[in-house]
Amino acid sequence: MNVTTSTLDVPGARLHHEVRGSGPLLVLVGAPMDADAFAPLAELLAVDHTVLTTDPRGIKRSSVDEPDLDSTPEVRADDLARLISSLDKGPAIVLGSSGGAVTALALAQARPELVRTVIAHEPPLIELLDDREQLRAETEKQASTYLDGDVLGAWRLMLEQANIVLPDEVMEQMFGGERDPQSVADERFWFAHEMRPSTFWQPDLAVLGSTPARLVIGIGEDSTGQLCDRTAQALATALGTDPVRFPGDHTGFVGDPAGFAARLREVLGS
């Protein structure tokens, strides 16, 4: 599959993005996940879609003018709107995962004319939960722990809050020792400037409930009991819809791109 790689200048940033295939526009977006994480899924979907993937601002190949500014859902939604408009193939189907699901929801609120379907896969919207004050405090502690230099400690706190268990040796392998400098830089940007604006974001439920776009709330089949299962369930309930299950867990599209693509096609065709 041929991939066209480009950079789009937007206010305060330059957005690396990739385009595959032809047909209806389908956007795959994460935060902090970059375009590479979606590449296997994009290849499968590009047989009958124009698939757009991107590095969110401040992550990997998408540079920013002021690295100390927060990456908010509203800013990232504006970035996504400019990318979609630049291709002139909208309105788009947008699949956002994790922080990217928050971006997609912010886009549906601000620019509904640019989207026809939004699949918000496990958005970490803790403000929708009854224990949001405790979760907010825990999130602040995760950020401060990381920025104080305790990388493993911050990840342990984050995974504990998410109700995800990883063995110590896996934690050490993933987050300890010598690591890729770019991965470390992206991780720091997440903890310092992306995590809190994304998880503390409060959707406008009235606006989302009245949008002409189709909204689908996705949850991984293996995410039961995890934090993002709870937040996605809360969002679906608030919008008066039933969540849709996808293969795998919070990053099921990485672990099983073929199964995820097949399920996505089912959802889009229903």
Closest residue by Cα to residue 195 from 254, 144, 235, 266: 144
Strand partners, 6: 17
Name 97's Cβ contacts closer than 8 Å, sequence gap at least 6.
Answer: 28, 29, 30, 33, 121, 122, 250, 251, 253
Domain coordinates in residue numbering, the chain: 3-129+201-269, 132-196
pLDDT number for residue 71:
98
For 148-173, the pLDDT digits (tens) are: 999 999 999 999 999 998 888 888 88
Torsion of CA 88, 121, 5, 183, to 10 degrees: 150
Q: DSSP label at 79?
A: H
Bridge-based pairing of strands 3-10 and 13-20 is antiparallel
Backbone angles phi, psi at 89, to 5 degrees: -125, 10
Distance of CA 151 to CAs 58, 164, 208, Å?
19, 17, 36
Q: Which CATH superfamily is domain 3-129+201-269 in?
A: Alpha/Beta hydrolase fold, catalytic domain (3.40.50.1820)
Taking only the tens of pLDDT, the chain with its 270 residues reads: 799 999 999 999 999 999 999 999 999 999 999 999 999 999 999 999 999 999 999 999 999 999 999 999 999 999 999 999 999 998 999 999 999 999 999 999 999 999 999 999 999 999 999 999 999 999 999 999 999 999 999 999 999 999 998 888 888 888 888 899 999 999 999 999 999 999 999 999 999 999 999 999 999 999 999 999 999 999 999 999 999 999 999 999 999 999 999 999 999 997
Bridge-based pairing of strands 214-220 and 115-121 is parallel
Find the helix packing angle between 168-175 and 151-162, rounded to 10°. 130
For 226-259, the pLDDT digits (tens) are: 999 999 999 999 999 999 999 999 999 999 999 9
Bridge-based pairing of strands 244-246 and 214-220 is parallel
pLDDT number for residue 35:
98
> Cα 217 from chain centroid?
13
pLDDT number for residue 211:
94
DSSP per-residue codes, 15-58 = EEEEEES-SSEEEEE-SS--HHHHHHHHHHHTTTSEEEEEPPTT
